[in-house]
Amino acid sequence: MAKYLVQKSEPLVGEVEISGSKNAVLPIMAAAILTDEACELSEVPALRDVDVMCKLLRSLGSEVTEEYKYNRLNITTKQILTEEAPYELVKKMRGSILAMGPLLARTGKARIARPGGCAIGARPIELHLKGFQALGAKIVESHGYVEASADKLIGNNIYFDFPSVGATENVMMAAVLAEGVTILENVAEEPEIVDLANFLNRMGARIKGAGTDTIKIEGVSSLHGAKHSIIPDRIETGTFMIAAAITRGTVLIKNVVPDHVKPIIAKLKESGVLIDITDEGMLVKGDAQPLTSTDIKTLPYPGFPTDMQSQFMAFLATVKGSSNVIETVFENRFMHVGELNRMGANIKTEGNCAIVQGERGLQGAQVISTDLRAGAALVLAGLTAEGTTEISEIYHIERGYEKFIEKFRGLGATIIRVEE
Ligand code: UD1
């Protein structure tokens, strides 16, 4: 098992280039199986989760060519060989569930191992299944698998009880080939939904309204191949914004869409960080003035992203004053609190609220990366902690950040990866 050893850092200085979005590329790869023609994706991040999705697509019958050196992927699915996504792959990556909508639309059947809970919550899928049912699919569950089948999918009006990102994507991918019009209401508005809709429209789908709370889909009888470039990863962007702020450094972040990180910009500015948007990218300066506390509450987009909560909390542990962090999206997303406290932070939790007493000098310690973003938070905390921070279970981090430590090293950090 590999570990990261992180040393206390000087203020980070320099430029960093953001990779394509993990959460955008996964549904887009799944959508590629909606056609028997070739799909060409660029700006694809080289990540463990992308590898797992490649494996899943190959097991379904796709021919997948990876050109990771150029961040490109080609996917052609002349024929679906099996409609089943096995447990071995689903347990490695919950995003495997995103193959369900495209499989159902293309073959009339999808059988997927039901994803279990994970470190951050129970993570049910009933909204995905309700959506498929509303399009006319029959759902049967047995022996840990869930199967959806339909002779024909028919458009319908579907109201989502919660704007789930995955359910919006899955049902949108099923509805593009359904007969007639589908209206999805109270859907997720994340930029990754818009990127997926843009890709589907390039394939010949007729989707309007992605990025708002109502999406209208006019079903078409078939889709064709398409080329698409993946949007920059807004969570990686936010993580490097925090890297500049937490080390009181100055970092130019390139390949960003500032609109996608509005809440992070707003909250860092509130705390005293200077942020300039230029033609070159986003300049984040953490050394201009003393930084102070601020409160955050996670919400569906365009609210503050839950995927940035742990990294922001690490930052709050280093600024003057007391901050409240309220997590409303996942029920158990404070696993990093215990680890940050092992490093000398003073964070108390009460239900879904954490109170961070800031400006404690952090100390390096042995800590565990409990999930992807929690792991990123520990790396950030390690940059400001006296001595060495030893982070284990880093496979979580490598699931979702491309060249993570290389990018930090490029800004002057001392982080090494060691095999135990
Ligand atoms: C996606 C992101 C993940 C991010 C999350 C919220 C991907 C691959 N992952 O996950 O990084 O943290 O959005 O921004 O894009 N829920 C239900 N029933 C359902 C589905 C979801 O109750 O059928 C609940 C979940 O338990 C959770 C909340 O809705 O409490 C948000 O989940 P959802 O938006 O579905 O997240 P994912 O798509 O799994």
**Amino acid code (one letter) for 159:** Y
Measured from the CB, is residue 167 less than 6 Å from ligand 1?
yes
Q: Which residue has the higher pLDDT, 118 or 237?
A: 237
Q: Of ligand 1's atoms, which has the minimum distance to the CA of residue 22? A: 8
Q: Of ligand 1's atoms, which has the minimum distance to the CA of residue 329? A: 30
Q: Please state the rounded mean pLDDT for residues 206-229.
A: 98
Q: Please name every residue paired with 154 in a beta bridge, in sequence order, or none if there are none.
A: 179
* Cα distance between residue 200 and residue 194, in whole Å: 10
Measured from the CB, is residue 134 less than 6 Å from ligand 1?
no
Measured from the CB, is residue 161 less than 6 Å from ligand 1?
no
Listed by start position, the domains of the chain span: 2-18+232-419, 22-229
- Model pLDDT for residues 27-51, shown as the tens digit of each residue: 999 999 999 999 999 999 999 999 9
Residue of 249, 261, 284, 235 lying closest to 404 (CA atoms): 235
Count CB atoms within 10 A of the CB of residue 1: 8
* Cα distance between residue 200 and residue 184, in whole Å: 16
Check whether 349 has a pLDDT greater than 70.
Answer: yes
The best mutation among 92, 120, 164, 401 to test binding of ligand 1, ranked by most ligand atoms within 8 Å of the C-beta, falls on 164
Rg (CA), the chain: 21
Would you say 64 and 54 are in contact if contact means Cβ atoms under 8 Å apart? Answer: yes
Report the DSSP pairing between strands 2-7 and 415-419.
Answer: antiparallel
- Model pLDDT for residues 109-150, shown as the tens digit of each residue: 999 998 876 777 778 899 999 999 999 999 999 999 999 999
Q: Please state the rounded mean pLDDT for residues 237-244.
A: 98
Token look-up 């458009």 returns 155
| Residue 27 assigned as binding residue | no
Measured from the CB, is residue 126 less than 6 Å from ligand 1?
yes
Q: Of ligand 1's atoms, which has the minimum distance to the CA of residue 305? A: 14
- Multiple choice CATH, 22-229, 3.30.43.10, 3.20.20.70, 3.65.10.10, 3.90.1150.10: 3.65.10.10
Q: Is the whole-model pTM more than 0.95? A: yes
* Cα distance between residue 218 and residue 193, in whole Å: 17
Helix (H) / strand (E) containing 55 = helix 48-60
* Cα distance between residue 234 and residue 238, in whole Å: 6
* Cα distance between residue 141 and residue 363, in whole Å: 49
Residue nearest to atom 22 of ligand 1 (CA): 124
- Model pLDDT for residues 307-321, shown as the tens digit of each residue: 999 999 999 999 999
Q: Is 91 helix (H, G, I), strand (E, B) or coil?
A: coil
Give phi and psi for 141, each to the nearest 5. Answer: -115, 135
Architecture of domain 2-18+232-419 in CATH? Alpha-beta prism (3.65)
% of the chain exceeding 70 in pLDDT = 100
pLDDT at 117: 67
Helices 126-134 + 165-175 axis angle, to 10: 20
Return the half-sphere exposure (C-beta side, CA atoms, 13 A cut-off) of residue 32: 30
- Model pLDDT for residues 351-402, shown as the tens digit of each residue: 999 999 998 789 999 999 999 999 999 999 999 999 999 999 999 999 999 9
* Cα distance between residue 49 and residue 61, in whole Å: 19
Q: Please state the rounded mean pLDDT for residues 5-23.
A: 98
Give ∠ CA 87-108-81 in degrees, rounded to 5.
55
Q: Please name every residue paired with 296 in a beta bridge, in sequence order, or none if there are none.
A: 325
% of the chain exceeding 90 in pLDDT = 93
As a whole number, the mean pLDDT across the chain is 96
Domain 22-229 in the same topology as domain 2-18+232-419:
yes
Count CB atoms within 10 A of the CB of residue 356: 28
Measured from the CB, is residue 95 less than 6 Å from ligand 1?
yes
Q: Please name every residue paired with 376 in a beta bridge, in sequence order, or none if there are none.
A: none
Token look-up 């006319």 returns 136
Query: Taken in order 203, 207, 209, 215, is the CA torsion positive or negative?
Result: negative
For the beta sheet containing 250-254, the strands, ordered from the edge strand earlier in sequence to the opposite edge, are: 13-17, 250-254, 282-285, 274-277
Alpha carbon of 19 to ligand 1 centroid (Å): 22
Q: Is 90 helix (H, G, I), strand (E, B) or coil?
A: helix
How far are the Cα atoms of 287, 295, 319 from residue 290, in angstroms, in the given order?
7, 17, 8
Check whether 288 has a pLDDT greater than 90.
Answer: no
* Cα distance between residue 412 and residue 419, in whole Å: 22
| Residue 124 assigned as binding residue | yes
| Residue 45 assigned as binding residue | no
